[in-house]
Amino acid sequence: MFKDFVKWWVRITFGRLFWIVAVQMAWGMVLLLWILAYARPASPGLGRFEWGLAFLALIILGVNILVIHFVHQAAQSRVVKDFVSHVSHDLRSPLASVKLYLETVLKRELSPETARDCLEAALQELGRLETSIEGVLTASRLERQKLRIEAHPLDLGAFLQGYLERKGDLVASRGGHLQIGALEALPVQADPGMMAKILDNLVDNALGHCQPGVHIRVSLARRHHLALMTVADDGPGIPPGERRKVFNLFYRAKAARGRGTGLGLFIVARLVKAHGGHIWVECPELGSAFQVALPLDEDGGRHP
């Protein structure tokens, strides 16, 4: 409870609202002192002119803070509206498909094989819908710091090997090629479910934003006291000015507008941070390489 209070206090103290209120209070205090300076006889210290300059400086500072705040809020509002519009479309599309398949089964006399195909297609669309909703809920919990991470000692190399073997057929069914690079046996403290979510989002990001037939290569190596996991593709890459922004909530790269919800890489970045690691993207001559660095657990989880 004390830890939650400290987080709340830090968030309030270093938030925009705190500084807006602080500037407003400073305005009031300087204005009051300025009035008192006129009401009193001349005395040593700051004169009326100096108090006036201080008051003017605070007005300019306050106006700048307010303008920056409202510009940021307006930009965020536009991003949220775009996100809501896009997610609404993403939710409506699979629902319409499910409705169509079920109506086909109910209103037409179909062979058992055709009816089964329709029901399987409806289940796939429901899976898409479930994935979209789960992404929104996960991003919301991460934004409010309500998602629990249950970290355990984990051999990251063995975990990646098993995950990639299971994921290969799914990637192939979506027109991609999943390649397994060198995977060292590296011990970390991690939540297996959350690690799978990190990988799902990185692989799905490459599939969704690269050309058909994209090659995705996953590797793991040791770098000093870190386990460095790389998910690379041979797609179009990311412009330098957008490489940090792609991890922001709701952000979608300009070349990918109309695809994705702007949640996947935000979820990845927050989950990596929750594991004590950090993530960045590099773009060599061809494609993009997302680098995930996690601290090694070299004592095997035997913490004092």
- Report pLDDT digits (tens) over 61-76: 777 777 777 777 776 6
Structurally, what CATH architecture does the domain formed by 1-147 represent? Orthogonal Bundle (1.10)
How far apart (Å, rounded) are the C-alpha atoms in residues 85 and 87? 6
Two tokens, residue 195? 């690690």
Two tokens, residue 69? 């705040």
- DSSP letter string, 119-154: HHHHHHHHHHHHHHHHHHHHHHHHHTT------EEE
- pLDDT at res. 256: 54
Top pLDDT among 250 and 9 is at 250
Q: What's the N-to-C CA distance of the chain in angstroms? A: 23
Q: What percent of the chain has pLDDT over 90?
A: 15
Q: Is the pLDDT of residue 196 over 70?
A: yes
Q: Is the pLDDT of residue 199 over 80?
A: yes
- Report how far apart, in Å, the C-alpha atoms of 103 and of each of 91, 93, 152, 165 are: 19, 15, 47, 37
For the full predicted model, state whether its pTM sits above 0.85. no
Q: Is the pLDDT of residue 3 over 60?
A: no
How far apart (Å, rounded) are the C-alpha atoms in residues 280 and 265? 10
Of 44-53, 127-136, 168-177, the poorest mean pLDDT is in: 44-53
Q: What is the mean pLDDT of residues 233-258?
A: 75
What pLDDT, in 10s, does the model give residues 269-302? 889 988 889 999 988 778 889 999 999 987 655 4
Domain 152-295, what fold? Heat Shock Protein 90 (3.30.565)
Burial of 205 (0-12, 13-18, 19+ CB in 10 A): buried
Of 55-59, 79-83, 99-103, the poorest mean pLDDT is in: 79-83
Beta strands (DSSP E) in 134-225 are: 152-155, 177-183, 187-190, 215-223
Where do the structural domains in the chain lie, given as residue ranges?
A: 1-147, 152-295
- Report how far apart, in Å, the C-alpha atoms of 99 and of each of 93, 94, 130, 201, 263 are: 10, 9, 15, 28, 27
